[in-house]
Structure 1
């Protein structure tokens, strides 16, 4: 798959409040610039002995809109926390992305290890981040790579929590990126906010409000009210939202049951509907062996809005 159409980057797999500053006319960029934000230690591609990119690195001539949190899935939740391990993970990711995915370089801009070591992913990401006016285009969020900056967090966080070292380094890294670009904490997202994927794992995804709050504290500002998110449905799920999805799919001509159970036929129906609308079948595959085809999430739901309905109304209904 080409980088332009891909989505998953996997390697195998006390300051002023928002209202007060707004009243002063400073905007978020002014708040972030005014805060004293520590610069994290980020190891460059040369320090972990990265291969040269096989093609030209694209530098977007604008700041990113979103900071996107991912998990790597493989090599799992290792107990190894050394810097050498973090460097090896970075090399393994790059090798998979270049040799198996066929991309020009590592897909994400930065990688965060379970030991709390942060490395540069795609070449030039660190250099351009320090400038604070542009960003390197990665390959980690399908159809949104020109507006997103991605961070891979080593491990699988569908059921287990992140270790403290990884969490602390994630807070520091995200705060620094937000500071450099003037990005509000509300724009810190998970991969599943853009594509139908488990990423960054349910446990880590559910901690994103906590991450936004922690980053807001570093930046010295309050965080805006959380907006409803799209539910992620996958095989084995059941209940009201599955039934709602099945009825909406049937209204769009999909051959699925209306029994409230996300079985094989519903999975196939979602996959066919997604393909019909140009969404990649393996856009969110976490590993070469893991199949997320047929998952129904944030890129599929808006396509199911009934005539006369609205995206916001459907999202609110699903969140009720």
Structure 2
């Protein structure tokens, strides 16, 4: 019996170690932002093993495709997961391997709502040559080389980015864009230009 209790305690400790360490009582999603959980959008389970990681950076992406105003966030997330979990061709002709799940942790849609994507406990995926382990990945819907960030997205990001940084003790200089780590235009010029302002919001929070 004693050995069983020791084993149970050890397993509980290991499971606890996989949770992202929140260093404040700041909520993950600030008040006033519409949030859609994986359960609410009907997420499937991951199809492959994933890598546990510790969050040390906050990295912004864009989806790189046109904004869709007439589709629900739930539909977009289901489609993104379906694409992510299969082998599919990319725009440049390469084949994307199957990933375990949606490659990002949080998705900000055109209306400023936030969808829960990959579990924060696990590193994301990328088609580019950087290792996203340690990065909390936030993707914003749109191609910001060609279109504007919506006012609703801007309002959400102004609340969400400093809240995430505070919750996980991510310093302002550890906020970046995908292009800071790989050869890509992501998150697009329009969104990348907002990052200095978000760093100031983190410092002031």
**After TM superposition, is the score higher than 0.5?**
yes
Greater Rg by CA:
1
Answer 1 or 2: higher relative contact order, Cα 8 Å, separation at least 6. Answer: 2
Selected match of 1:152 from 139, 150, 165: 139
Aligned to 2:48: 55
Question: Structure 1 residues 216, 86: CA separation in 2 closer, same or farther (over 3 Å shift)?
Answer: farther
Selected match of 2:168 from 165, 181, 189: 181
Selected match of 2:182 from 183, 195, 206: 195
Q: Distance in 2 between matches of 1:145 and 1:114?
A: 24
Number of equivalent positions = 172
Shift of 1:36: 9.2
| Contiguous gaps of at least 5 residues in structure 1 | 1-31, 126-134, 220-320
Aligned to 1:120: 116
Mapping of 1:54-203 within 5 angstroms?
A: 54-60=47-53, 62=54, 64-74=55-65, 76-80=66-70, 85-99=72-86, 100=88, 101=96, 102-122=98-118, 124-125=119-120, 135-140=121-126, 142-203=129-190
TM-superposition CA deviations, 1:101-124 (whole Å, max 9, x none): 3111111111110101101111x3
Question: Structure 1 residues 52, 36: CA separation in 2 closer, same or farther (over 3 Å shift)?
Answer: closer
Aligned to 1:305: none
Shift of 1:41: 4.7
Aligned to 2:15: none
| Contiguous gaps of at least 5 residues in structure 2 | 1-22, 89-95
Shift of 1:160: 2.7
Question: Structure 1 residues 111, 34: CA separation in 2 closer, same or farther (over 3 Å shift)?
Answer: closer
Q: Distance in 1 between matches of 2:198 and 2:67?
A: 20
TM-superposition CA deviations, 1:151-193 (whole Å, max 9, x none): 1100110133201111111222222211111111221100000
SS in 2 for 1:78: coil
Comparing 113-122 with 96-105, greater Cα deviation is found at 96-105
Aligned to 1:208: 195
Question: Structure 1 residues 51, 35: CA separation in 2 closer, same or farther (over 3 Å shift)?
Answer: closer
Q: Distance in 1 between matches of 2:125 and 2:175?
A: 17
Q: Give the TM-score of the pair, scaled to structure 1.
A: 0.49
Q: Distance in 2 between matches of 1:95 and 1:109?
A: 16
Higher share of residues assigned helix: 1
Shift of 1:51: 1.4
Higher share of residues assigned strand: 2
Q: Distance in 2 between matches of 1:171 and 1:144?
A: 26
TM-superposition CA deviations, 1:84-107 (whole Å, max 9, x none): 611111111111111223111111
